[in-house]
Chain A
């Protein structure tokens, strides 16, 4: 069955963005984190909470029933609130649901929120599925990606230094982002210290802290009715979600899943990888940026490391990768991460990113993967 292109039939726009800085776990409640982001997003859009018709909250760690006790403090308007859990892509999926709600015509104004606070563990369900394996607990996520790094570096003769330069770039970008958890410029020598697993060092692994991000998704009717500033509205032209298929033994599932989801998103948008000016990518571990640059078609297999070394993926290059600092520097508080990516892409496409502005940015992508495995990709553009 060919799905209708709802985003084309009834266009949707992001008109407001708001964030609470990503940071180490603190005494702040998730309610205060979330409200900070939503209030900022409403102010950015120039609308009132009473204008909002539905809310989606992306969170993976908070537990059930997180939305109302938080959002009712903006006024208990009785709107539908739905909590969305999709592992690391929870926030991305809250955006996807908000887009679908507006594109379907059910609502004109919807908030997509991501909020989380770290707990003792991730509590991931696959570990409770009753399917044992040989590695026991010896392969945690950073070792999974260290093994992918080993395979990639051996296949393409890429060095430790080349992979580490992803982190140097993203820490540099994060140093200019007031919402980033890590805001320090790091040298290659600093990045290469403190080994964690394989070639991955501490600064090549994302911090998992707390934070919040919110975006306001509206229809054309919503823009007109609420007299929202059209010049700052950014259109969502693709929203694609896929889960892991069977790719054959030895094939990196994360890159294969990203490739499939990217193709679906580009088809929906009627765009291609070379149209991207900005890409917020799931760089939880430095090696991922290389894998996904190639999987999404921004360069040929084996080329990504040299493209990063050449500065092609810097701010000011052909496509700015993770200008926010990405998961490596901005951080990965889980629920907020995918929403924060959308906020950064919107900021870039509005031309409001200040010192980390990608010149002439017109088209941007946000890409997340999560345990399961799931992948969610959005493409946004200036209308």
Chain B
């Protein structure tokens, strides 16, 4: 059995995890998620991008607790945050634990979500308040 991120191209399983974005060499725009097609700022093809590691740490810009959801997972209620990463891009992700408010500093961790047919554990990047 192994532990695998749901989207291996978005995460490195470091401690804490590292988010993988891209940087356009032509215009220096850093973006997440990494784009397989081209740069929204200057139009350069993705073949000219370089991988860009982003620290899974940032500040909560908005937060919402979801009470009704169309799928069985995540189990409601769960909380989603808009997180401005210290490296620039903004991501949306589940934030666990109490006390998350706009302005909270949060850090990413790997949260087990489900097991595949072979018993491998699939993990997602969630965040929690650290300050």
**With A132-B7, A139-B80: A195-B61 Cβ-Cβ less than 8 Å:** no
Whether A147 pairs with B92 at a CB distance below 8 angstroms is yes
Complexed CA–CA distance, A152 and B115 (Å): 38
Whether A198 pairs with B92 at a CB distance below 8 angstroms is no
Complexed CA–CA distance, A137 and B7 (Å): 13
Confirm or deny: B13 has a beta carbon within 8 angstroms of a beta carbon on chain A: no
A-side interface size class: 20 to 34
**With A197-B65, A197-B67: A132-B33 Cβ-Cβ less than 8 Å:** yes
Whether A133 pairs with B66 at a CB distance below 8 angstroms is no
How many B residues touch A, CB cutoff 8 Å? 37
Confirm or deny: B35 has a beta carbon within 8 angstroms of a beta carbon on chain A: yes
Q: Which residues of A in the span 144-159 have a Cβ within 8 Å of any Cβ on B?
A: 146-151, 154
How many A-B residue contacts, CB cutoff 8 Å? 91
**With A147-B64, A151-B61, A197-B66: A249-B90 Cβ-Cβ less than 8 Å:** yes
Instruction: Identify the closest chain A residue to B65 (Cβ).
Output: A198
Complexed CA–CA distance, A123 and B64 (Å): 25
Complexed CA–CA distance, A138 and B73 (Å): 8
Q: Which residues of B in the span 12-64 have a Cβ within 8 Å of any Cβ on A?
A: 19, 33, 35-36, 40-41, 61-64
Confirm or deny: B112 has a beta carbon within 8 angstroms of a beta carbon on chain A: no
> Could you tell me the distance in whole angstroms from the C-beta of B5 to the nearest C-beta in chain A?
10
**Contact with B68, one of A135, A151, A196, A249 (Cβ below 8 angstroms):** A196
Residues of A within 8 A of B65 (CB): 197-198
Residues of B within 8 A of A130 (CB): 36
Q: What are 25 A-B pairs at a CB distance below 8 A? A: A130-B36, A131-B35, A133-B91, A134-B7, A134-B93, A139-B80, A146-B64, A147-B62, A147-B82, A149-B64, A150-B62, A150-B64, A150-B82, A151-B62, A154-B62, A195-B67, A196-B67, A196-B68, A197-B66, A197-B67, A198-B64, A199-B64, A246-B41, A249-B90, A250-B90
Q: With A135-B94, A198-B63 given, can you name 5 additional A-B contacts, CB distance below 8 Å?
A: A138-B94, A139-B80, A143-B80, A146-B66, A246-B40
